[in-house]
Amino acid sequence: MELTRIIKSPILTEKTDRLRANEKNPVFVFKVDYAANKFQIKEAVETIFQVKVASVNTIKVDKKPKKVGRFQGFTTRYKKALVTLSEGTLNYLPESNEAAKVISEEEKTKKEEKAKRASDVEAKVAKKLAAKKVSAPKQAGAKAKTVQRRKVGGE
């Protein structure tokens, strides 16, 4: 079995967060392939995340009956692996600290560029308005056009 197909996804719940927060022996919980054994799971975690695994415990979670309205069915069965690390930590969450810093720096530079462009546009508009006022002065003796209004109804 390929190592990339053994680990399906991490299981992120409040309980797994408490297990992961343990500093001595952090325990990470994964949903794994149903046919994978402990040795394959250990090898997959060590090669993918480059950490040392102390132990692997597995649990087979059976299917459960579920109802949605008038429809009946079952949840799918899966295998859960509790991986205890001896050295290092895993960072499988989508937003890591380093990635968040890089993203925030990129956002700051984008905001600065946008503000600079906006100020340039404002300056151009102000310059055009000033040129328009200077080039087209109002004539003193010009009459305003009178508009005839149509009578509608009982006016």
101 shares a domain with 83 = no
Within a domain: 153: no
Within a domain: 19: yes
127 shares a domain with 60 = no
Distance between CA atoms of residues 42 and 55, nearest Å: 8
CA pseudo-torsion sign 124, 125, 129, 132: positive
80 shares a domain with 120 = no
30 shares a domain with 14 = yes
Give the number of other Cβ atoms within 10 Å of residue 55's Cβ: 13
pLDDT of residue 101: 74
pTM of the model: 0.58
Write b or e for each residue in 58-96: b if 16 or more Cβ atoms lie within 10 A of its Cβ, otherwise e: eeeeeeeeeeeeeeeeeeeebbebbbebeeeebeeeeee
Run of H or E residues at 86: strand 78-87
> pLDDT by residue (tens digit) across 42-78?
999 999 988 999 999 999 999 999 999 999 999 999 9
pLDDT of residue 98: 66
56 shares a domain with 19 = yes
**Structure tokens given for 101:** 């810093």
Residues of the chain under the 70 pLDDT cut: 93-100, 136-144, 154-155
